[in-house]
Amino acid sequence: MKKDPDQEVDKELQFHLEQRSRDYIAAGMTPDAAREAAAQRFGDTERVREVCTSALAAVRAADERRRFRWLLLDAFSLDACVAVRMMVKSWGLTAVAGSAIAVAIAIGASFFEVVGGFLDPVVPLPQGDRIVSPLPSRCWRR
Amino acid sequence: MFSKRDAVLQGTLELLVLKRLSRGPMHGYGIASWIETATEDALRVEEGSLYPALYRMVQKRWIKGEWRITENNRRAKFYRLTKAGEREFEAQASGWLRLSKAVSRAVTSTDLP
């Protein structure tokens, strides 16, 4: 379980100050003087805490986004695997479905060709498709 | 510009942190102490700028922090280099060596126009 960013930064800075105090005590200072000297040496604890907390929060948010992207990719790849496996397993159905799609596309394409030829004819000249009518289509229809 | 005990310059601090972590994981206090002993007390780490620098480096994904138990049985956040951090260290170290060599050559040069 992860701690809150501000708690984590607090614990880290606290460890630093305690270590420093211990060194000062070992060098002969009284515990109170050591604590005070450690804090003084550290400087603006409040500002450091603020900067570090917001940096840690940003890192956590970026990690979360990254994790979510992987999760999504994972789910999609699982779906794709299952789809391929099922298609291989019932290959007959896959063949029927595949040819049905092919026929449908062929019908659609030829229909489009016929309708297109009728509604938007190409003049039988070299680069005939570049010839346009200067009249607005409303006049042309009349 | 250069007094006896200098505050570590910003970019240099990152390089020194990378150097220490290239030898193995360490907590912030250990990194600060190492910089002071390794530079024979010539450089003093501004502790107030060490932690923001560490968190900045975490954000750049050069280092990663994880909580561990110290030899004194205390919980501390240890930092270690990532693969990107190792590459960054190589790049920064060679850049620093090139620059410092060039500057000292110029500073000690006797041939002036």
**Domain parsing of chain B, residue ranges:** 6-98
User: Which pLDDT belongs to residue B58?
Assistant: 95
Which residue of chain A comes nearest to B29, CA vs CA?
A16
Q: Read off the pLDDT of residues B97-109 as tens digits, 9 standing for 90 and up.
A: 999 999 999 999 8
Distance from B59 to chain A by nearest Cα, in Å?
A: 6
Judged by a CB distance cut-off of 8 A, whether residue A42 touches chain B is: yes
First to last CA, chain B: 26
Nearest to B59 among A43, A48, A59 (CB): A59
Q: Comparing A53-62, B40-49, B61-70, which segment has the lowest mean pLDDT?
A: B40-49
Q: What is the token pair recorded at A97? A: 């479905």
Q: Flag whether pLDDT at B53 surpasses 70.
A: yes
Q: Flag whether pLDDT at B2 surpasses 80.
A: no
Q: Say which residue, B88 or B39, is predicted with more confidence.
A: B88
Average pLDDT for A27-47: 92
Q: Flag whether pLDDT at B4 surpasses 60.
A: no
Judged by a CB distance cut-off of 8 A, whether residue A84 touches chain B is: no
Average pLDDT for B86-99: 94
- Domains of chain A by residue range: 1-76, 90-121
Contact B52/A48 with Cβ under 8 angstroms? Answer: yes
* pTM for the model: 0.69
Burial group, residue A9, by CB count within 10 angstroms (0-12, 13-18, 19+):
buried
CB contacts, 8 Å: A56 with chain B: 55, 58
- Binning pLDDT at 50, 70 and 90, where does residue A123 land? confident
Q: Inter-axis angle of helices A31-42 and B47-59, to 10 degrees?
A: 50
Question: Does B48 sit within 8 Å of A43, measured CB to CB?
Answer: yes
For residue B45, the 8-state DSSP code is: -
Distance from B77 to chain A by nearest Cα, in Å?
A: 6
User: Which pLDDT belongs to residue A89?
Assistant: 94
Question: What is the second-level CATH architecture of the domain B6-98?
Answer: Orthogonal Bundle (1.10)
Question: Does B74 sit within 8 Å of A56, measured CB to CB?
Answer: no
